[in-house]
Structure 1
Amino acid sequence: LGGKNALYIDKSADLTLASELAVRGAFGLTGQSCTATSRVIVHKEVYSQFKQKLLERVKRWKVGPGTEDVDMGPVVDESQYKKDLQYIEVGKNEGAKLIYGGNTLGGKGYFLEPTIFEGVSKEMRLFKEEIFGPILSVTEVKSLDEAIDLVNAVDYGHTAGIVATDIRAINEFVTKVEAGVIKVNKPTVGLELQAPFGGFKNSGATTWKEMGEEALEFYTREKTIYEGW
């Protein structure tokens, strides 16, 4: 159930909402969810304004132990901690621009700052590979068509999201995007137990779904019995 989930920010988006959804989706579970937002794809007409709001929001995101006033906890273990640090270096070496975070926080525990790169192209490992940590890539596009192409330009199809008020853009996105779960004006994380859950491509078995009525089939082994008397 791997994922490289994208959130598209349309030119019609409420940018305050968009920045909130991006930060919550990317960092709310320290990026350690198969439905976490790993990529944000932004229409060029709102890129600068969105970037400003994104940075303003993430600066208020508090990292620490599991107390009520904390937004993001530590990375799960040493192995994932080292992997996250390696991907931060990968991003720098590939030419992506680090615009926030990228540092360890010291002390006990595997604490990292929420980390954001911009200028991430589809050829970069940072764009294509699942990291499972608090690292977000941001990519600018010229059109909805380009955004959809980039959302689909990975080997995964778990969740995807769009932030928009243009119903035509929303309908085109949900129709053409290759993902098992699509969110509209909501974070890519968070699911309803009564609804089917499962991805496309390398994000699961397309014909089987967890949760909802489809889960009965997912968790059932059929057996055919012949009897003669």
Structure 2
Amino acid sequence: MSSATNGSSKSAATHKIKFTKLFINGEFVDSVSGNTFEAINPATEQVLATVAEGREEDVDLAVKAAREAFDNGPWPRLSGEARRKVLLKFADLIEENADEFASLEVMNGGKLFGPVKNFEVPIASETFRYFAGAADKVRGATLKMSKNIQAYTLREPIGVVGHITAWNSPAYMFATKVAPALAAGCTMVIKPAEHTPLTVLIFAHLSKLAGVPDGVINVVNGFGKTAGAAVSSHMDIDAVTFTGSTEVGRLVMQAAAMSNLKPVYLGLSGKSPFIVFDDADIHKAVELATIGNLTNKGEMCVAGSRIFVQEGIHNVFVEKLTAMVKGWPKGDLFDLATRHGPQNNKKQYEKVLSYIEHGKKEGATLVTGGKPFGDKGYYIEPTLFTNVTDDMTIAKNEIFGPVISVLKFKTVKEVIKRANATKYGLVSGVMTKNIDIANTVSRSIRAGAVWINCYLAVDRDAPHGGYKMSGFGREQGLEALEHYLQVKTVATPIYDSPWL
């Protein structure tokens, strides 16, 4: 048995799961049907907890609670200052419970304790503080219209929001969706990913301790085809956000269009280019390429999994990248030195292995990795392919696993064209010391972010979202707040004014 499995198994056995029910109108409750489903530890393949399974009738109850809280409750009517104080308290509670969040995400998601505690949980708490600062700064504008008419705009909360989250970063995702919605004065129903429901339930518990009124935050665990579909199509939900695959995002849009034409904001798949020019700092480029692909076992929509390397340094780059990928530390998920864990769930594990087989069959060169390891758990070796061409499956599709493809290029013009030859457009990386090349490429790449001589440059003040089939709308930054606000124009006549 691998040390990674031993460490996770031991920790899981000693950690008590506190919350496994639905959270509706401020209370943890069973589902109407009484149905449950199992949360699995991906490091051991053992059942971690049995969780209440919500369906359409449970979504109805959650929406009813959120609707009442919005239409008649205090939250949308509080001053921005009052909402700010609650969000700041929420942020403090997140920090105080960092160990519990990190432990849950290790056991329920196969993540690493150190990065969750030291990176993802602090981002979550700081995101609440960031939007707390925005809660009392929602303002409109004064307009001078035609003669004898004065107008102003009001910015009002959009209403009841449905949040459907993905399984790869539950704490981060909760904060990026919920904090701006709360700051705007919205109420909400959250459908966490069925593979990782436990983190969101801890947030629900903390929301009550922070002073969020009953009905403002509701959580319905369940599956996409039932609970997720009910959220997307519900006539009393005013807007929906979804993070996940492009295929499911399309279904969410269809359901919203066929119901009440609610606005939809989508964070979807990516197949991002990471471009390394001949003049780049090769050691830094190799480090960032590895981190940008193997962090969180490759389960990142922002993975720079198409690494374009200019021909002058290609061979040296591949040699150094191979050494780093081979040495990527495995071990106990609670050990701060460990960098690699299991895939989140069995379906994803099998999907990643199938992509590796596609790569081999289509003629790419498997340099290292490509196999499962350990006698338990969904572990796959960090995998590197070279001699990859643009038409190969592993170069076109999002894999969402620890699989890296290296492609060779000659010129700036060529690599821009090839980098953009994808249906996705989430992020991109550019490694060069030449400011002219950096400016040219950053203006030419069709993606929501261009990271020059850095990678994974995610911050609460930096809007994040995609072009093309990577979705639309932005999370983080003040741009995120706009999704949860309506603009209303109020016009009044003015008579006998000497200034007209």
1:132-211 counterparts in 2 under 5 A?
132-187=400-455, 189-205=456-472, 208-211=473-476
Q: Which residue of 1 aligns with 2:27?
A: none
CA contact 1:210–1:218 (8 Å) conserved in 2: no
TM-score, with normalisation over the residues of structure 1? Answer: 0.93
The number of equivalent residue pairs is: 223
Residues 194 and 90 from structure 1, CA distance in 2 versus in 1: closer, same or farther, beyond 3 angstroms?
A: same
1:220 aligns with 2:478: no
- Using the TM superposition, name which of 65-74 and 138-147 deviates more: 65-74
Larger Rg computed on CA atoms: 2
CA displacement 1:47-66 (0-9 Å, x = unmatched): 01111111121122112342
Letter in 1 for 2:446: E
- Which ranges of structure 2 fall in alignment gaps of 5 or more residues? 1-267, 492-500
Distance (Å, rounded) in 2 between the aligned partners of 1:172 and 1:22 = 21
1:5-24 counterparts in 2 under 5 A?
5-24=272-291
Distance (Å, rounded) in 1 between the aligned partners of 2:359 and 2:444 = 29
* 2:362 corresponds to which of 67, 72, 94: 94
1:53 aligns with 2:320: yes
Q: Which residue of 2 aligns with 1:41?
A: 308
1:106-125 counterparts in 2 under 5 A?
106-125=374-393
Q: Which residue of 2 aligns with 1:25?
A: 292
CA contact 1:3–1:130 (8 Å) conserved in 2: yes
Q: Structure 1 or 2: larger helix share?
A: 2
Q: Give, in angstroms, the shift of residue 190 of structure 1.
A: 4.1
The RMSD of aligned alpha carbons is: 1.5
CA contact 1:64–1:74 (8 Å) conserved in 2: no
CA contact 2:276–2:310 (8 Å) conserved in 1: yes
Q: Give, in angstroms, the shift of residue 101 of structure 1.
A: 0.6
CA contact 1:7–1:162 (8 Å) conserved in 2: yes
More RCO (CA 8 Å, sep 6+) = 1
CA contact 1:64–1:111 (8 Å) conserved in 2: no
Q: Give, in angstroms, the shift of residue 222 of structure 1.
A: 5.4
Letter in 1 for 2:309: V
Distance (Å, rounded) in 2 between the aligned partners of 1:132 and 1:222 = 38
CA displacement 1:86-106 (0-9 Å, x = unmatched): 000000111111111101112
Residues 217 and 49 from structure 1, CA distance in 2 versus in 1: closer, same or farther, beyond 3 angstroms?
A: same
Q: Could you say what secondary structure the match of 1:57 adopts?
A: helix
Q: Give, in angstroms, the shift of residue 223 of structure 1.
A: 6.6
Q: Give, in angstroms, the shift of residue 153 of structure 1.
A: 0.8
Q: Alignment identity in percent? A: 39
CA contact 2:325–2:383 (8 Å) conserved in 1: no
Q: Which residue of 2 aligns with 1:4?
A: 271
TM-score, with normalisation over the residues of structure 2? Answer: 0.43
